[in-house]
Structure formats: structure tokens, C-alpha cells
Structure 1
Amino acid sequence: MDELLKNFRALHDDLKLKAAAAAVAGGARLVANEAKKNAQAQGLESSGALLENIAIKREKTGRDRIQYNVGVRHGSKSKNARKVVHYRGTRKKVTYENDPFYWWFHEFGTSKMPARPFMRPAFEANVEKVKQAMANRLRSSIERFKKRYGRNTVRST
């Protein structure tokens, strides 16, 4: 691990950012896939909306930090969200097809329903796997950059 960090710190800043983004995305992908497996194991796939909307999103942060969020898209942000308009008298209500708005109830529970989490256990049970996946991805990115750019990958000190 020390050798990996040494090689990472020696990269140019722009390559360092690309390698870090690839590593973090690899770890996030592992958590998202595990969350989908957990949701299926609990029988939450009846419509498939919940499984389809477990997603990874890169957050905009400063140049010195990479952040990916793993979560459930819902509402108008959902993938291919199509509005469905319901009229009741003079009132208009807009909902979205394929919207897993109920994911929050399963993850955290309600006053009448106990929690059946699938997101948090996906991360907590795989912390070491995520670290290993990130290290492997970082290692392969560094090797790919060295092969592609040669000596130009290393920052001159």
C-alpha cells in the first residue's frame, strides 16, 4: 500500500485526479451492485423501479476532492422520468412513472413499519472489499498512465 501511495503522489495533478476518480467510482459501483442484491434478497423488486434507480452520481466538488454518491433516484430526477398527471376536480397532481418514492420507507422504516435497510448494509458489509477494489483500480490506472505517457506521468520535483 505504501508503494501504491508513493506512485500516486508522484503523478501529475491532472492524472492524479483521473486516477482517483476511477478508483472512487469503482468502489461506488461495488456498493451499488451490492445494494441491488440486498434489495432483491428482501423481495423489493416487484415492479423493478427500485432496482433500476439505484445509481451512482459524481458530485461537483473542488479540484482537491472526488466524491461519488450511491443512492436511489426518485421524483423528476429519475431516469427517463415521465410525468403522469391526475385530475381530481379542479386539482391537478403530477406523479412520475417508475418512481421508487417508497425506498425511504424500506431503508429507514416508518412509525408502523420496521426498517428493512438495503443501502447501509451494502456499504458496511463490504468496507474491505471497497478499499481493495479502489486500490486495484488505482494501481491499474497508474500502470495504464505509465504505459501511455511514459516518463511524463511523473511530476518533476
Structure 2
Amino acid sequence: MADGIRFDVSGLDGIRYKMAQVKREVNYKGGRAALRRAANVLRDQAQSNARRVDDHETETAIWKNVAVRWNGRAFKQDGVLAFRVGVLGGAQAGRAAQQGTSNPGGITWYWRLLEFGTSKMAAQPIFRPVPDQAGQKAVDVFARSFNQVLDRVLAKQGAA
């Protein structure tokens, strides 16, 4: 599934030149906004995958807990812009899982059992097929959004 995935990044041709002309803060802010839009595309695909495997007869809903979060650790350590797409509450079980009662979809620690399977149940992946299903669309959304931000900033700089 996720092995050997290739994406066409043809929308980023003039981006390097534009990035060199604007301040680093602008690249970070615009890049973060564009990256969030791309991550939202992946989140939407993961939510539709989760709806497919979710048990509709229970109160809990994995798809409601699929969320996009800013990865502050990667940014602080390496200066890398990154978002994480995952399930609120993580993969905790037992007493720690009870903290997820305030999540929109309830306590859904069992999502990992569906994702990876068990010795008695075949895997029903939610996240692993997402790059194949929506990866190229996410790259296209990022390229378009970031180009728009850079064009807007360069137009302001030219007017100033």
C-alpha cells in the first residue's frame, strides 16, 4: 500500500525562486497554511475510510476523532513544518483510555486493532491506504495554496 508511492510535484516549479524573494517568516506562515490545507485533504480521506469500517450501531465513531494536529516538536527541533493526521486519544487502552470521553467520537482506542488487525481478525486499514487514495490531491492542494500565498506576498512587496 504505502510502499513505493510516487507523486508528481509539477506545481512547484517556480516556488524556489519565489521563496528566495520573501522573508523566512512569510515562508513559514504561508507554508503552514498550505500544509494544513493539504493535511485536511488526507484527513477527509481517512475519515471516509473510517466511516467505511466503523460500527454504526455503537455510540463511538472513529471518523469523528480523526484530526489534524500541528507537530510543534518537529518544528522546534529541526525547523520542519509538519502536521500529524491521527485519531484523538491515540492508541491508549485501559485506564488511560478513559481520558478520551470528551473526544467528539467518544473513546476509540480500538482504532489500532482495526488498522493493524489481530491474530483473530484481519486488518481493515484506515490510514495506510490514504497516501494512495489522496496523496496526489494533497500535493496539488499544497502547491496551489503555497503558490497563491507567495504570489500575494510578492505582489504586496512590489506595490510597497
What TM-score comes out, normalization by structure 2 length?
0.74
- CA distance, structure 2, for counterparts of residue 152 and residue 25 of structure 1: 28
Which residue is equivalent to 2:79?
A: 64
Which residue is equivalent to 1:120?
A: 128
**Equivalent residues in 2 for 1:93-104, closer than 5 Å:** 95-96=98-99, 97=101, 98-104=106-112
- CA distance, structure 2, for counterparts of residue 138 and residue 6 of structure 1: 13
Q: Summarize the Cα distance change of 1:120–1:51 in structure 2 as closer, same or farther, 3 Å threshold.
A: same
Which residue is equivalent to 2:62?
A: 50
Unaligned residue ranges in structure 2 (runs of 5+): 1-11
| 1:133 has 2:141 as partner | yes
Alignment size in residue pairs: 136
SS of aligned partner of 1:118: coil
Q: CA deviation at 1:101?
A: 0.7
Q: CA deviation at 1:124?
A: 2.4
Mean Cα deviation higher: 1-10 or 44-53: 44-53
Decide which structure has greater helix share.
2
- CA distance, structure 1, for counterparts of residue 125 and residue 119 of structure 2: 15
- CA distance, structure 2, for counterparts of residue 123 and residue 57 of structure 1: 17
| 1:19 has 2:30 as partner | yes
Q: 1:10 aligns with which of 17, 21, 25?
A: 21
Bigger radius of gyration, 1 or 2? 1
Which structure would you say has the larger RCO, counting Cα contacts within 8 Å and 6 or more residues apart?
2
Asked whether the 8 Å contact 1:9–1:16 carries over to 2, the reply is no
Which residue is equivalent to 2:51?
A: 40
Structure 2 counterpart of 1:118, one-letter code: I
Decide which structure has greater strand share.
1
Deviation track 1:86-109 (CA, whole Å, cap 9, x = no partner) reads: xxxxxxx67242111110101111
SS of aligned partner of 2:14: helix
SS of aligned partner of 2:42: helix
SS of aligned partner of 1:119: coil
Q: 1:150 aligns with which of 140, 145, 157?
A: 157
Deviation track 1:60-83 (CA, whole Å, cap 9, x = no partner) reads: 1237310100000116x9xxxxxx
Mean Cα deviation higher: 24-33 or 63-72: 63-72
- CA distance, structure 2, for counterparts of residue 69 and residue 146 of structure 1: 29
Deviation track 1:31-57 (CA, whole Å, cap 9, x = no partner) reads: 000001111123445435311110011
